[in-house]
Structure 1
Amino acid sequence: MWPVLKINTSCYRAVTRLDLSVRWVSNNATIPSNLFLSPGEWKNLPPNTILQLHEERKFKLGPNYQPNVDELEALYSTSDFTGQTKNQIKQTYQSHWAANISKKGRQKHIKVKKYSPNELKHGLRPFQFDDLPTSVQEDLDDIKETRYYQRIAAFELPQLIKFRQEYKPVDMKQNPITYKYTTYMGEEHPNSKKVVLSCRTSELGLNDKQLHKFKLLARTRYNFETDQFKMSSEKFNEPLQNAHYLHDIFQKLINESKDLSMETFEDIPLDTRHIKSQNLRKRKNGKTYKFPEEWNRPEDAPKEMINILKEIFN
């Protein structure tokens, strides 16, 4: 950090605070916003304005700030206003410009970086305690968002009453087919493209011969215990494509089942081995064993204890 010019007077603090607001609010048209880059033009300005430009130059230039002889000459003119002598001002400013004096003892001007208007537009105005901190602004944003949805709930949602309709369950006889989609909210998953088609064969409107042929063609996709036909597809990348593919396959299966001109397949029994094997696997994984009746020994069973609560309430 560069040494700061010390001014021991309370009057200066009050005046500079006042001039700070006047400079940025009322005198913005008379004093250019980039005047701090040209210390040579600070002459004949009021002392409080010179001090403000000095602080502004150090703040906005930051690491690029370098002492300037014109700036020091302008600070000399504030001696009567601040109550400090020129020697005191020079000693305070010494660390800035001592290293920039040539070997011949002549003072040289320092080239100051020229900022474009776009660079001075954002983030270069010093904080004047005229805005809320970042944490408070975040809390206010949360409150604004909450109130936004509260206004929607209070004023817009009641208007949806005019679109209210009575719920009627889906007639499974008219719409026997069900499509099942899987969605993983907020993330991508390879299983999200999978679509499952299911229906009950008794609701397809087929006669006994057509239904038997349909079950034979379905093979392992038909469960004779639940009368449920099910098939799935994840062949395509989009769920809608898989749904259309399942619809086409199911339509071909229905058309083949209705066509009894060539063969009815009445003499072929229904294959149920895949369902029986599924049940065996479930029993094996669940470890459900039936206790043999010949192992029962009722004479060794523990004697029943007296239930005091039952005796009292009875």
Structure 2
Amino acid sequence: MASTVNSLRLCLRTTRKLQCLRVAQLQPPRCRRTLSTTPIRWADKDNAEDEVDEEQIKPYNDLGEALRDFQRDRSLTEEDRKGAARDLRAWEALTLAERDAITTRIKSIKAATAPLKRPATKKKNSFWNEEEHDTDLITNEVGEDDFEEDDIVSLAHGKLEEHREHREYARLAVWEMPLLSKFAKKFEPPTEDEVLRFRYTSYMGEFHPADRKVVVEFCPTDLKTLTEAQQLKLKKLAGSRYNPEKDIVRMSCERYEHQAQNKRYLGDLVDKMMVMAKDPTDMFEDIPLDTRHHTFKRKPKFPVEWRMSEERRAELEAQRKKAFLLDESKRMNGTLIDGVRSIQEAVLTLPDPIASLQAAAPRKRARSTR
């Protein structure tokens, strides 16, 4: 019984129909047009685009024809339509010669602007498009580096430019510099109230990113409105900007674009430091003055004990005078040795070096001729 059931199951398995899985759903065919006896003719895309372009770019014989075609456009507004009608009436009022002149002028303008509208074609055999004309250049660089013997070299042009610059400054020194004496002011030293000293950087009319920098210097002891404790607190607030060797606070600013803005910022900063120094809530008495940022350079001085006394100077002067008198007495007697004269006499007694070299040189053997 089991064998009969197994054989029946195998027969059913081989004869059954499996379900087909569809990846894409089939679409029923659609009828694009009604029943007809003529075959379908599909339009060529290239020809259709060309026809559209030809319709869009329609050549006109004269300006009046273009205005009439322009009026047929249904997308025009009422104002544009009235303007086109007004221009058409003005065109019809012209004579035949005037119409021909305007038409000729329009054709010449189109012929002149045609190369500009033509798309630029790249050359296939060119390397980096070197042979193509660059419309962005003001001059044509082709052949500019070739020296044609009709001009001086670039080094000479540079020398001429330097000579022109010197002559320009010479003219300024002769004609314009004396006029500045009218604006000269007498020097007036700063008063006790003017304790801030500002320093600027100028590059004689040239633009430089460093000309905006402003430096301010002041001595804390010159601030008469502060007590000694407040001056010490101000030094502590300055930190590394305080020079303990010169007793000067120095700060700089180049944050803003103009010098006046940086100077204003430094002035406000000094005022804030003075207000904080006058604040009695915390005088920083438990904090010592930090001077580790400054390197003290020792300048050794000549010891006072080593200085020459008046007695020693008189003794040396007497020795020099005695030696001078002794030399004078020897010169009078002829016993003084003249070093320059002795050297000249010794040079005259030296043997001739060329003669000694010739005597020491070996003799050359004469070649025997056969």
**TM-score category, normalised to shorter length:** 0.3 to 0.5
TM-score (norm 2): 0.32
Give TM-score scaled by structure 1 length: 0.37
> Bigger relative contact order, structure 1 or 2, given CA contacts below 8 A and separation 6+?
1
